[in-house]
Chain A
Amino acid sequence: MTEHELVGRRVVRIDSLAKATGEARYTADLTLPRMLHAKVLRSPHAHARILHIDTIKAEKLRGVKAVVTGKDATGVKWGVFSYTRDHELLPANKVRYIGEDVAAVAAEDEETALGALELIEVEYEVLPAVFDPLEAMKEGAPQIHDHAENNVNIHVPIEVGDVDRAFEEAYYVREDRFVDTEYTYCQTEPYAVLASYDSAGNLEIWTPNASPHTKAKALSNLLEKPLSKVKVRRVFTGGAFGGRSDIFPGEFITALLSMKARRPVKMVYTREESFTSVRQAHSMVVDSKIGVTKDGRLLASEIKLVLDGGAYSSTGPIATSVPFLVWEETYRLPNARFNGYRVYTNKPVRGMYRCHGRAFHGGLGMQLDMIAEELGIDPLEMQLKNALKAGETQATGSRITSCGLSEALEAAAERSGWKEKRGKLPYGKGIGMGANGMMVGFPMGIRGGSAAIIKFNEDGGATLISGVVDNGQGNESMVVQIAADVLGLRMEDINLVSADSEVTPLDQGAYSQAATFVSGNAARAAAMDAKEQILDIASDMLDATPAQLDIKDGKVFVKERPEWNVWLGKVIRKALIDNTPVVGRGSYMPQVDQSRDWVSNPQGQHAGTFSFGAAVAEVEVDTETGQVRVTNVTGAHDCGFAINPMAVEGQLEGSVASGGVGATLLEEHVWDGGQMLNANMLEYKVPLSVDMPQIVPIIVETIDPEGPFGAKEAGLWGSMNMFQAIGNAVYDAVGVWIKEFPITPDKVLRALEEKERGS
């Protein structure tokens, strides 16, 4: 439903054709002349000192062109924040997880590279290792980093109001523990890097990424090269989900190899390496205490969160804070205390996954249902009572502008038949609800904003230059759709040059849910700037004021008399000859409190705006096997405004798979100490087509005052609400709360058996 020419319509994405014909080339599909192939030698130990590495034999193997170890690195430690610099991407002295990079080889072909790895001799001094974060925090546990006492990587303390008094005043208080194991992105495209270094010192990098600027800056630091010499190029990316964002050893190593060999080097990870040696999602233990009034309003919330961070920080402070922030972005919390701990263990590095803390928010969402049950209140009513509204301020000080949370809850409830079903379905069938707020565009210093440029060709076509990144969400198409709408052009008239750290202006990347809100706004601003210039020039040509003009179908026309028009190409040419060429520029930075810091100052405006969502899930439980089938999901998403409703639906539906059926029921890592037992796509259970429910997506539009055309965000809907929707539905179906995730059949059966024994 739109009055606009293009935005708001179900348009075909600009990248779909290339992907449908096989023409779209991903990193592993690329080749350059004289390209070498690289492989990495990995640590078989979870924790060890590297005493000695001998690479002579490997270097002498015919076909080997470069070998690197920690000695070739600059020794610079990487960290997303200045205070989390703990990661030497190719360590010289110590390894901290099984699968960590120790040495690498570039050779004429992969077989030779693998053969060379076998010739590298590494002497390790094996150290005691620790794999459980609670164990790692105890006195006497092996110390993984010299700077981290008790292996605590990050501690985020947040305190709002008077929590202790609020608990005293509360009518009902309950405490629960929720436990979630690790899970993983499992993007269908495995990790890969192509690096090309030339004699002038230019380094070009292609790798599936969520922000070329982040990668370039990190490499620039690590390689001690100026940023202008590190060029991360745009490349088709096969899904990210949070797992392509910060800098990884693979990029660093491939760059080093290319620099050493003076030839392009490509490294393609196996699926196992993609699981173990890039990033994973955190496991967590959540201890949550909630106090409510008699009528179910949240009075006090006290949470302790312990995250297993693995061997290095990655986005540590963000990972540790975001779970609580999503909680405060959803519900009114007058008094809250949060202590989040991210703990080092000798396991692969954990990063962000489609936001953070699905089980955190999931567990707390289930607690709300438990409380509703205790108080005899309909869960929907409980949600509505506590759901934040427009104009309110969140616990740590973020003001909410547009908010459709209540609308989303009502819409999902109505469409799913909530009132007729909740508590009324036959035993074994159930319906449950979940809700979430979601930050859009959070503080990232200079890297939190986006700028865009539009240039025109003499035939009236244009090129939009934007740092926007597309990992499959449809972001590239989105900025073109926006620019074309503003400029009265067709989408096919606008080319896009994007996600190139050399060419495109700084952009925050597909991160913090900001592509639409920030990159989209910048593109819109650039288009409007260009339009202003065009109308100014055309006003002379049409003898009208700019305010009397508009552009449509490639023609600038007088609004009152459309037959008075001039072809856009002619306007462009006039501008060129007059030496006032049309070049649109625009930028956007979310209005956040830049002094806000994840750890030291978690107060103030946290995000440019917030999106909201509600999910209703219906399940069938086979009470003999404990198997849970999600039959229906009704999802309502306040995305502000749907630039492309088809894309918004696609995101919602996708998150029902990954955040819902996958995360809640199927996906988990299985560990033996520091080694993952199911680091492959057969044993790590990603949902298949036959595992999916019927999905009804509902778009709620609240027209955000800041968002482009009122749009906010549309990527993370189900990641933070499906968990509790399903968990609550299981309770409605068979009367058990499963607090250990994922909710696998054996856990359901055990809970049912315990319930029967108890009664």
Chain B
Amino acid sequence: MQLPSFQHLQPSSLDEALGFLAEYGERARVIAGGTELLVSMKQRLLVPEYLVNLKAVPELDYISQDDGGLRIGALTRLSTLIRSAAVVERFPILAQAAKMVSASPLQEMGTVGGNLCLNTRCYYYNQSLFWRQTRGACYKTGGDNCHAVKGGKRCFSTYQGDMAPALIALGATVKVVRKGSEREITLAELYTGEGKQPVALEPNEIVAELRVPASIAGAGGDYQKLRYRGSLDFPLVGVAAVLSRNGSGVCARARVALTAVGTGPVVVDEATRLLEGQQVNEKLVAQAADAAYEAARPVNNVGSEASYRRKMVRVLTRRAIMNAWGKE
């Protein structure tokens, strides 16, 4: 399968990269690990005129600890995250989730930023040009219907990133930059929940950095991933839970976030409400798991079966919370 033609730009600084994006806007795409972008280009889902290659930009690849929190450059490889002592010792859920992304060669190539900004996926979208031409455009490709959900009134493509729920559960924030300015948002705010444009970035913006607050260091965290094979596959369901315990043994902070069950990561606020300030017991965890089930809206467009996957949200949420609590 051949890539379409494009101009390749290799900025050697962040500033230079942002300059290209400012100039070319929608005509350009950034390439980090390339493990998603190049496949999409081979399928002619994306045909950018310019590729702005971020690999040679040093200011984006780092893991630093300042004041006890983590600052992770968006171009940090997943394999770097897995090996980082700072991550493993104090924010282990990140290493756990990164280890479950695809398989090790793709962890070597793929970046945190790239995984966070994964495009949403669907059986009817992630196909070759020939395949898609047999049935015409859908919402995500510029048409006005949904092939996956007959009669669907919007795009139901599924967000399947593994790192997002873990980072959201840790309370991560994101620094988004463009030429001349930057803004900081919570990671959850990076997602539109909308299938056509799932990530809230302007064409001239990139995610530059993740920040994980010091306050969450050492908290118990667990990421549960459902996939039929033991490697390589995207999640059919993913649940991240991060809990911390206060001096009197009660749950001080609880966050549960889901992936693969909506058009963006899903934050289960009800679980937070149920668990915080309480003794974590089986009954409570079951209720939180029910809340996750309620919040999940999987669609039959990424394999397995939607009603089954929804039930697994309950099972995996229970396991994630119990494990996270156990690690606290």
Contacts and interface: CB of A to CB of B under 8 A. Distances in A.
Q: Consider the complex of A and B and state whether they touch directly, i.e. have CB atoms less than 8 Å apart.
A: yes
Interface of A: 42, 44-45, 98, 110-111, 114, 270, 272, 624-627, 665-666, 670, 672, 675, 677-679, 682-683, 685, 687-691, 744-746, 749-750
Contacts of B233: 682, 685
B53 to A, nearest CB: 22
Nearest to B4: A111
Nearest to A662: B229
A749 B308 contact: yes
B320 to A, nearest CB: 13
Interface in B65-123: 103, 123
Contacts of A679: 131
Given A666-B229, A683-B303, A746 B308 contact: yes
Nearest to A41: B130
B123 A677 contact: yes
Contacts of A272: 127-128, 130-131
Given A44-B133, A272-B131, A626-B308, 12 more contacts: A45-B134, A110-B2, A624-B315, A625-B226, A670-B303, A682-B233, A682-B234, A683-B123, A690-B229, A691-B229, A745-B228, A746-B308
A675 B134 contact: yes
17 contacts: A272-B127, A272-B130, A627-B228, A666-B228, A666-B229, A670-B303, A672-B123, A672-B124, A675-B135, A679-B131, A682-B233, A683-B123, A687-B229, A689-B231, A691-B229, A744-B304, A749-B308
Contacts of B311: 749
B160 to A, nearest CB: 11
Contact of B130 (A42, A683, A689): A42
Contacts of B305: 746
A688 B303 contact: no
Contacts of B128: 270, 272
Contacts of B229: 666, 685, 687-688, 690-691
Contacts of B234: 682
A278 to B, nearest CB: 16
Contacts of B155: none
Interface in B271-315: 303-305, 308, 311-312, 315
B156 to A, nearest CB: 15
Nearest to A114: B2
A44 B134 contact: yes
Nearest to A673: B135
B142 interface: no
Contacts of B231: 688-690
B131 A111 contact: no
A437 to B, nearest CB: 32
Contact of B131 (A625, A675, A683): A675
Interface of B: 1-2, 103, 123-124, 127-128, 130-131, 133-135, 147, 226, 228-234, 303-305, 308, 311-312, 315
A98 B134 contact: yes
B123 A625 contact: no
B232 A682 contact: yes
A44 B128 CA distance: 12
A670 B1 CA distance: 23
Contact of A625 (B1, B147, B315): B315
A678 B133 CA distance: 16
B66 to A, nearest CB: 37
A126 B311 CA distance: 41
A683 to B, nearest CB: 6
A670 B300 CA distance: 11
B130 A44 contact: yes
Nearest to B5: A111
Contacts of B226: 625
A688 B123 contact: no
A88 B228 CA distance: 39
Contacts of A750: 308
Contacts of A45: 134
Contacts, number: 68
B149 to A, nearest CB: 12
A270 B1 contact: yes
Nearest to A624: B315
Contacts of B130: 42, 44, 272
Contacts of A665: 228
B230 A691 contact: yes
A690 B231 CA distance: 7
Given A670-B123, A675-B131, A625 B312 contact: yes
Contacts of B312: 625
Contacts of B304: 744-746
Nearest to B1: A270
B230 A690 contact: yes
A688 B133 contact: no
A685 B228 contact: yes
Nearest to B39: A682
Nearest to A45: B134
| Residue of A110, A625, A666, A678 with highest tally of chain B CB at under 10 A | A625
Closest 5 A/B residue pairs (Cβ): A690-B230, A746-B308, A44-B134, A677-B123, A746-B305
B33 to A, nearest CB: 16
A42 B230 CA distance: 35
Contacts of B228: 627, 665-666, 685, 744-745
A266 to B, nearest CB: 15
A682 B235 CA distance: 12
A679 B124 CA distance: 12
Contacts of A627: 228
A96 B103 CA distance: 39
Contacts of A691: 229-230
Nearest to B312: A625
Nearest to A748: B308
B308 A688 contact: no
A645 B87 CA distance: 48
A675 B134 CA distance: 9
| Residue of A42, A665, A685 with highest tally of chain B CB at under 10 A | A685
A467 B125 CA distance: 46
A749 B305 CA distance: 12
A688 B227 CA distance: 12
A98 B133 CA distance: 11
Contacts of A670: 123, 303
B308 A745 contact: yes
Contacts of B123: 670, 672, 677-678, 683
B4 to A, nearest CB: 10
B108 to A, nearest CB: 17
A687 B230 CA distance: 9
A163 to B, nearest CB: 39
A745 B308 CA distance: 9
Nearest to A683: B303
Contacts of A746: 304-305, 308
A39 B122 CA distance: 27
A144 B93 CA distance: 56
Contacts of A749: 308, 311
A691 B233 CA distance: 12
B115 to A, nearest CB: 16
B227 to A, nearest CB: 9
Contacts of A42: 130
Contacts of B308: 626, 745-746, 749-750
A45 B135 CA distance: 9
B56 to A, nearest CB: 28
A683 B135 CA distance: 20
A679 B234 CA distance: 16
A624 to B, nearest CB: 5
B315 A688 contact: no
Nearest to B309: A746
Nearest to B122: A677
A141 to B, nearest CB: 22
